[in-house]
Structure 1
Amino acid sequence: MDPVVSTEWLAQRLGSPDLRVVDGSWFMPAEARSGHEEYLRVHIPGAVFFDIDAIADLTTDLPHMLPTPEAFAQAVGALGLSREVDIVIYDSLGIRAAARVWWTLRAMGFIRAFVLDGGLKKWLAEARHVETGDVHPRAVKVAPAFDPGLVRSADEVRGLLASGGPRLVDARGAARFLGDAPEPRPGLKAGHMPGAANVPFDQVVAADGTLRPAQELTAIFEAAGVDLAKPIVTTCGSGVTASVLALALARLGRDRTAVYDGSWAEWGALADAPIVTGP
């Protein structure tokens, strides 16, 4: 099943009792934009706002790490999200943070989660109906669940580097991957994990914010030296754009791709983590 749905598909189903819409817009600090403020100004009718920095592990200084299954269940229950409905997630840029919300939901047992292809960007370009203000859904009870197969920790990444197991695929831009550009978060080393491949996330997303077709995605991953027949773990700066690659791989039938949750925000700060620069 394709992990994305079209704007036309969503428009035809808005208001259905078995559908929920989620705005997952998020921006890097340097972008000086607030996802929640922009949501209040304009959002798809009925959408609730999912804050990846708030629905997160607040006991760590790492950004938007997964919360406990219990905390997550309570938070999404308050948003009216359940496993018995289809959940369509979008963001204002096309496809970026929506993929992180999609992956988070799936890691917590929500298999009926999809990303809106093109996001709010495409929705607005098509002059579709929007609304303003906040949405106050009826809370639902959600049982905690967790799928560890979709998540990797720093220790697990160390293990796979030592064993030569799954291929790491890094979604950061080439300059950061090569160590030619500084990291946007202070105090992090530059470079990448040994043996990692580089597929910048914006390569898998078209200019209109939609996910590229399967044939193009296959060519992009293969050009980066990624064997699509073997296990893959995606990584990036903080686990957001790594989820975009996981979404792209799901379009190719690889819907069990794991994401390294801490990504470079964690790895680049570890004193003894192996790091290389250059090609």
Structure 2
Amino acid sequence: MQIKIPGKAAVAFAILFGATTLPHRTHAEAAPQATAQSAPWVSTAWLESHLHDSNLVLLQVGEESQYKSAHIPGAHLVRLADVAATSGELSLEMPTAPELRQRLQGLGISDGSRVVVYFGNNQVSVATRIVFTLQSAGLAAHADLLDGGMPKWRREGRTLTDLVTAVTQPGTLTPFNLQPTIVDAAFVRAHARQPGYVLIDARAAMYYDGLEESGADGHHHRGHIPGAHNVPFTGITNDDLTLKTPAELLGLFRKAGVEPGDRVIAYCHIGQQATAVLFAARAVGIDAVLYDGSFEDWTMRDLPVEL
């Protein structure tokens, strides 16, 4: 099996892991072949040159006050609640496919849209959760993150506006099934220590190490899911919130014990921060899935933790 890695990550992958040929898998839950053809981000220069493309849907995540004050021309404001399930006990869950299709169409997204998501301030993991949601809807090939977000756009002196852009016409999306991007607690329990899988805790080290409590209301616990390795979500970006190089991203996974052909299972507090780690994994051709309920769901089930 060959793993197809984005062009700028291929050399780094070969250097760090030594090969791009993966061992053959025969079990029923074999990781699907990675098929990313290009890096899932765009530069500020690219976006500026494509702002007037007729199929561009530009989404800013962050506070409404930030958006109204200044945003990239043509951008619509999007919140996690706009593309999350509206019912359930958990703080953040993926909606059903029909509900998600309706939500995305309400943002003006159609089958032929090119969607670019960016953070307005420093909400990197909110932006990656939106990108992950688009990926789960089968739109991964048409959805990108803006590298560096609004902070980089501002630093470079590019055009901003306070003119609110409303979605004047809903998009048209073909009905779809959700992609297999999410797993549940039972899957995590069964695979956390299984060869070929690496469980990654994307929370800050103080939560992973048990120095601070984390969990749902009334179900707070210290520590992490047994067998998990810590890759804090903040590690995928530099101090200026631009993405680290593919070689650096691959190094994060290698340090966590990820080998060629392994499948990553990522979790965090509620399923937001972990999507930054999933984004990095996708960027370098590593197959990865999200435990959507994350530590909130785990502690609500009163499942074991370790320090």
TM-score by length of 1: 0.89
Q: Please give the alpha-carbon distance, in whole angstroms, between the structure 2 residues aligned to 1:239 and 1:184.
A: 12
Mean Cα deviation higher: 157-166 or 75-84 = 157-166
Q: Counterpart amino acid of 1:13?
A: H
**Cα 1:258/1:184, change in 2 over 3 Å:** closer
Cα offset, 1:59, TM superposition: 1.3
2:87 to 41, 50, 59: 59
Q: Please give the alpha-carbon distance, in whole angstroms, between the structure 2 residues aligned to 1:123 and 1:225.
A: 35
Cα offset, 1:228, TM superposition: 4.5
Cα offset, 1:253, TM superposition: 1.4
Matched length: 266
Deviations 1:133-188 (A, max 9, x none): 53212212223323342111222222223755521111101110011112275432
Q: Counterpart amino acid of 1:52?
A: L
> Post-superposition, which runs of at least 4 consecutive aligned residues in structure 1 deviate over 6 A?
none
Deviations 1:221-279 (A, max 9, x none): 2223333531111111111111101111112112x4211111112112222x12111xx
1:100 to 111, 118, 129: 129
For the pair 1:126 / 2:156, whether they are aligned, the reply is: yes
**Cα 1:228/1:97, change in 2 over 3 Å:** farther
CA RMSD of aligned residues (A): 1.8
In 2, are the aligned partners of 1:176 and 1:190 still within 8 Å (CA)? Answer: yes
1:235 to 255, 267, 292: 267
For the pair 1:199 / 2:231, whether they are aligned, the reply is: yes
Cα offset, 1:16, TM superposition: 0.4
Mean Cα deviation higher: 206-215 or 39-48 = 39-48
In 2, are the aligned partners of 1:22 and 1:89 still within 8 Å (CA)? Answer: yes
- Residue 31 (structure 1) aligns with: none
- Residue 280 (structure 2) aligns with: 248
Deviations 1:8-42 (A, max 9, x none): 110110010121111123xxxxxxxxx22322222
2:250 to 218, 222, 244: 218
List alignment gaps of at least 5 residues for structure 1: 26-34
In 2, are the aligned partners of 1:168 and 1:234 still within 8 Å (CA)? Answer: yes
Q: Please give the alpha-carbon distance, in whole angstroms, between the structure 1 residues aligned to 2:175 and 2:70.
A: 31
Q: Please give the alpha-carbon distance, in whole angstroms, between the structure 2 residues aligned to 1:57 and 1:165.
A: 31
In 2, are the aligned partners of 1:94 and 1:122 still within 8 Å (CA)? Answer: no
List alignment gaps of at least 5 residues for structure 2: 1-37
Using the aligned pairs only, state the percent identity: 30
Q: Counterpart amino acid of 2:230?
A: N
**Cα 1:132/1:64, change in 2 over 3 Å:** farther
- Residue 29 (structure 1) aligns with: none
TM-score by length of 2: 0.81
In 1, are the aligned partners of 2:267 and 2:292 still within 8 Å (CA)? Answer: yes
